[in-house]
Amino acid sequence: MAKTILDMDVVIVGAGPAGIAAAVTASRFGLKTALVEDSPGPGGQVWQETPSGRPWSRRWLNRLRACGAQVLGGTTAVCPVDQRTLLVETLDDHHVLAWRHLILATGARELLLPMPGWTVPGVFGAAGLARLAKNGWPVAGKKVVVAGSGPLLLPAALTLKRYGARIALIAEQAPIGRLIGFALACMYLAPAKLLQAWLYGLRLANVRYKMGCWPASVEGDVCLKKVSLVHKGLKIAIDCDILACGFGLVPNLELARLLGCSIQQGVVCVDQWQRTSVPGIYAAGEQTCIAGMEHAILSGRIAALVIAGQYQEARPMLGACSRARRFGHALARAFALRPEVLGLADQETIICRCEDVTAGQLQPYTDWRKARLMKRCGMGPCQGRICGAALSHIKAWPYPTARPPLLPTRIATLIEGTMAVQKAANEAKGDQI
């Protein structure tokens, strides 16, 4: 029944680089900090510790272990109960976290775009499949086409290769010209990234890499058989087992939206101190700008320093943080999606995978509300996370309003969590009298 509430100075949602950096920093100043993470352990998409692989950055994870912050793994943010509490759920339990400061570090997810056949088992997100492989998904011996866009395709392919997959092709939709321009910009903005890309290149030396090439359709019935791609105006068909396909990243904005934080141009609005439009709520990392790990760490640290009142220490980081954001903007320009990849779906292609709503069925509708009302588009368990992101790119539909719960949540959690908050509020009232 109604359990006690965990009283925290700082609650951080998301234990990727931004969340970890924020937790480590906040704890340094004696702030009672909780770090909520949807995955079993901390690390996010980049730093996750895996059963068979090594962590990418042991240093930050060690600091996290040592810092005293409470790490709640396997814990999903459900919704705020009132203005200063967050309800969270685990596999078989739930908690209420009361916060004085909240840092949103929910990161980003891959943009997954509809194309004919993309619902066939064997089609995955690119970084998503790498993540699955790190957690034991058997890719060894599988023939994989890695496709889509963005700098994550290379490390994803590398991870898959390390776990024994045969990479048939890496297809990047961006044209070669734009990527060369980007590489030049990187020399100024982020030379380390260039080096990293070159190292990936070395390790993927015998893998085919095509620029200006994108997947067009998938064939297969119970499982995937063949992927068709377009390159230089020609169709290439590749027999394979898996298509690992992501078209860059989109920020996870659902929690920010539910909390009423202002969102503009697809990211959470923050000032230079990472403060959102809602007092007491900060945002850091990819949901404020898709700019990679350095930006995530810096912005997470800045948010925590501001909370601790350490503006002196934070101020010198502002320059690097804004440079990292500029790198993010250059990244977005270089890997901007070509119109062709936004128009892959045909009439029969399913757009909303939860409710099996096809492109043809959506054709009469001009906005989300109508599509939702009439066709249930985006009304399934993922609540439009996949089709919403896709349609915001394909049809430029703004995201629908967020409603609690953020993810499917046990009814018992909603009842007991809310009652716990009410009980505490009543007791507080009693104390005052």
Partner 1 sequence: MKLTCDIAIVGAGIVGTACAYYLAQEGLKVIVIERGPVGGGSTGSCMGHIVVLHDSVPHLALTSFGRQLWQQISLGLPEGVEYNQCGTIWLATTQQQIQQLRSQQTYYNQYGIATQLLDQDALCDAEPCLRKGVAGGLYVPDDAVIYPPAAACYLLAMAQSNGAMLLQGCQVMAIGPDGSIRLQGNQIIYAGIIINAAGCWASQLDRQLPIIKRKGHLAVTDRSGAVLRHQVVEVSYLQSVRQDAGASVAFNVQPRKTGQILIGSSRQIGAEGTEVEMPVLAHMLQRAVEWMPILANLKVIRAWAGHRPSTPDHLPMIGPCPGNERVWLATGHEGLGLTTSLATAHLIANMIAGRPCQIDPGPYLPGRLLQGTYA
Partner 2 sequence: MPRLVTVKIDGIEIRVPSGTSVAAALALAGKQITHRSVTGQQRGPFCGIGVCLACRVTINGQPGCRSCKVSCQEGMEVITDG
Cβ count within 10 A of residue 320: 14
- Pick out residues in 65-84 that bind partner 2 (CB under 8 A): 74, 76
The sign of the dihedral angle between the CA atoms of 14, 16, 17, 21 is: positive
Min separation Cβ 363 and partner 1, Å? 15
Residue 30 tokens read as: 């004696």
Q: Is 50 in the site for partner 2 (CB under 8 A)?
A: yes
* Options 171, 185, 387, 414; binder of partner 1; rule CB under 8 A: 414
**How many CA atoms are closer than 13 Å to the CA of 366, on its beta-carbon side?**
0
Q: Phi and psi of 112, rounded to 5°?
A: -115, 120
Exactly one of 117, 385, 394, 414 binds partner 2 (CB under 8 A); that residue is 385
Q: 76: left (phi > 0), else alpha (psi -120 to 50), else beta?
A: beta
Is residue 286 involved in binding partner 2 (CB under 8 A)?
A: no
Our finding on whether 422 is near partner 1 (CB under 8 A) is: yes
Alpha-carbon distance of 38 to 71, in angstroms, equals 11
Site residues for partner 2, 190-229, by CB under 8 A, read 222-223
Least CB distance to partner 2 at residue 59 (A): 21
Amino acid at 295: H
What does the buried/exposed string (b/e) look like for 253-272 if buried means 16 or more CB atoms within 10 Å of the residue's CB? bbbbbbbebebeebbbebee
Among 110, 286, 294, 416, binds partner 2 (CB under 8 A): 110
- Find all residues with CB under 8 Å of 84, minimum gap 6, and list them: 98, 99, 100, 280
Among 2, 46, 67, 132, binds partner 2 (CB under 8 A): 132
CB 104, min distance to partner 2, A: 16
Chosen residue from 369, 398, 426, 427 binding partner 1 by CB under 8 A: 369
CA distance 69 to 218: 45
CB 166 to partner 2: min, Å? 17
**Contacted entry of partner 1, partner 2, none for residue 162, CB cut-off 5 to 8 Å set by kind:** none
Q: Do β-strands 263-264 and 267-268 pair in parallel, antiparallel, or remain unpaired?
A: antiparallel
- Per CB under 8 A, does 45 bind partner 2? yes
Residues at the contact surface with partner 2, assessed by CB under 8 A: 38-40, 45, 50-52, 74, 76, 91-92, 109-110, 112, 119, 121-125, 127-132, 135-138, 222-223, 252, 353-356, 380-382, 385-386, 407-408, 410
Residues at the contact surface with partner 1, assessed by CB under 8 A: 79-82, 367, 369-370, 373-374, 379-381, 383, 403-405, 408-412, 414-415, 417-419, 421-422
